[in-house]
Amino acid sequence: MIQPPIDLRSDTVTKPTPGMFEAMLRAELGDDVYAEDPTVNQLEDYVAELLGHESALFVPTGVMSNQLCLKALTVPGNEVILGERSHIFNYETGAPALLSGIQLHTLPDEQGWMELPDIEEAIREDAYYLPRTAVIAVEQTHNRAGGSILPMEYLQQIVRLGRAAGVGLHLDGARLWNASVATGIAPAHYASQFDTVSVCLSKGLGAPVGSVMASSKERITLARKFRKVWGGGWRQAGILAACGLFGLQHQMERLEEDHQKAARFAEILSGSPMLEIPRLPETNIVVFKTVGFDLLRLAEIVKTEGVWLSTAFKGLLRAVFHMDVTLEQTTLAAQTVVAALHKEATH
Ligand SMILES: Cc1ncc(COP(=O)(O)O)c(C=O)c1O
């Protein structure tokens, strides 16, 4: 049994780094419900600029941030076009219906992107008896498609399509940083073309808590109101904002190491005829399937050996690479998965 276990379930499992603890100790604090926390204000200004937007709002989670964005772009009865494998559709507990009274129109997105003609067809014509298409939402990087990167040209085409139809555009950029580091394209270049953007600080950047919504001043004012309505008005949140700022300023470039670990893991797995990797990793996520062996059983076996994988995606196993796992542990984890299957096959 590997000790301590190698936890590859998500990049959210990391603990704050010493630099983050120091930043917390030094953080100037105030009451953010009065917009008086200097560190929160600094983080919001910093992220707004980084994403090329007028304003930003610090919130506890990526789910809240995505939902505030949808709230700001819709009225009840509206419709949102998004991928059937998207986080918003699958893992946000039906919140769009519950919190904004809107319906979701899903399209196939097996590789992470919806086909442009499908989107075009899904946009409703203007008729009193139809729901109004209010938003097209995309995910960068695409979690369930194995951290795949949506190409800039594709995003630009979606934006053009949305603009021509008068439809709002939302970017779930929970892992936008990974896409930026992998491609060298600045976050603002991706994000500024969208009406609303959500980014996470608590994934690859390593902060313990926090996401940020970026948009126009007007929409952020509305989102601030709904953050309060939904119980997310927080007080000396600068203690958390300090970690987020530290992550953005000092732990962004190291995401490249996580991409290398994912590539190493996939390379070792691809040596086994009992494993199939539908898509080679472009960033920090590897999704894979078993061939001729029960997927959940494999996850159980390797867990007893000290390698923790995510089983959250039906029909796929997922390994996510982050700062609390080394390249050596990555190699060991991959070898453990391959050896476990080999052992079962020769049993
Ligand atoms: C693509 C995507 N969007 C949004 C979220 C939600 O983030 P949180 O867990 O902070 O609510 C996640 C979390 O894994 C995600 O992967």
pLDDT per residue as tens digits for the range 199-218: 999 999 999 999 999 999 99
- pLDDT at residue 345 in the model: 80
**Which residue range forms the structural domain that includes residue 329?**
6-13+254-345
Q: Does 318 map to a domain?
A: yes
Answer whether 91's CB lies under 8 Å from 98's CB.
no
Q: Does 36 map to a domain?
A: yes
**List of residues 6+ apart from 290 with CB closer than 8 A:** 274, 275, 276, 298, 317, 341
Q: Does 114 map to a domain?
A: yes
- pLDDT at residue 346 in the model: 83
CATH code of residue 281: 3.90.1150.10
Same domain, 239 and 298: no
- pLDDT at residue 165 in the model: 97
Select from 84, 76, 136, 122 the least CA-distant residue to 103.
76
Atom of ligand 1 nearest to the CA of 10: 14
- Which residue has 């494993």 as its token pair? 275
pTM of the model: 0.97
* DSSP code string of 119-185: HHHHSPPS-TTS--EEEEEEESSBTTTTSBPPPHHHHHHHHHHHHHHT-EEEEEETTHHHHHHHH--
CA of 310 to the centre of ligand 1 (A): 14
Residue with CA at minimum distance from ligand 1 atom 7: 62
Same domain, 59 and 163: yes
Same domain, 160 and 95: yes
Please identify every stretch of the chain with a pLDDT value under 70, giving residue numbers as ranges: none
Atom of ligand 1 nearest to the CA of 86: 1
Q: Does 29 map to a domain?
A: yes
Decide which of 221, 250, 279 is a domain's last residue: 250
CATH code of residue 112: 3.40.640.10
CA of 43 to the centre of ligand 1 (A): 19
Pocket test for ligand 1, best of 143, 148, 176, 287 (most atoms within 8 A of CB): 143
Same domain, 228 and 260: no
CA 276 to chain centre: 24
pLDDT per residue as tens digits for the range 102-126: 999 999 999 899 999 999 999 999 9
DSSP element (H, E) containing 189 = helix 187-191
Same domain, 205 and 282: no
Q: Does 1 map to a domain?
A: no
- pLDDT at residue 264 in the model: 98
Same domain, 232 and 292: no
Answer whether 116's CB lies under 8 Å from 140's CB.
no
Same domain, 143 and 214: yes
Q: Does 57 map to a domain?
A: yes
Q: Which tokens belong to 236? A: 């000396």
Same domain, 133 and 112: yes
- pLDDT at residue 344 in the model: 83
The CA distances from residue 70 to 101, 158, 322, in Å, are 10, 17, 29
Same domain, 263 and 279: yes
Decide which of 192, 224, 250 is a domain's last residue: 250
Pocket test for ligand 1, best of 9, 66, 87 (most atoms within 8 A of CB): 87
Same domain, 214 and 271: no
Buried b (16+ CB within 10 A) or exposed e, 116-146: eeebeebbbeeeeeeebbbbbbbbbbbbbbb
Pocket test for ligand 1, best of 64, 91, 141 (most atoms within 8 A of CB): 91
Same domain, 209 and 261: no
Collect contacts of 106-111 with beta carbons under 8 A, ≥24 apart: 106/81, 106/82, 107/81, 107/82, 107/83, 108/83, 108/84, 109/83, 109/84, 109/85, 109/142, 109/145, 110/85, 110/145, 111/142, 111/145, 111/148, 111/279
- pLDDT at residue 269 in the model: 98
List pocket residues of ligand 1, CB cut-off 6 Å: 61-63, 66, 87, 139, 143, 172, 174, 200, 202, 211
Q: Does 218 map to a domain?
A: yes
Main-chain phi, psi angles of 246, to 5 degrees: -60, -45
Q: Does 237 map to a domain?
A: yes
Same domain, 133 and 46: yes
Q: For the chain, what is the domain count?
A: 2
- pLDDT at residue 347 in the model: 74
Decide which of 223, 250, 277 is a domain's last residue: 250
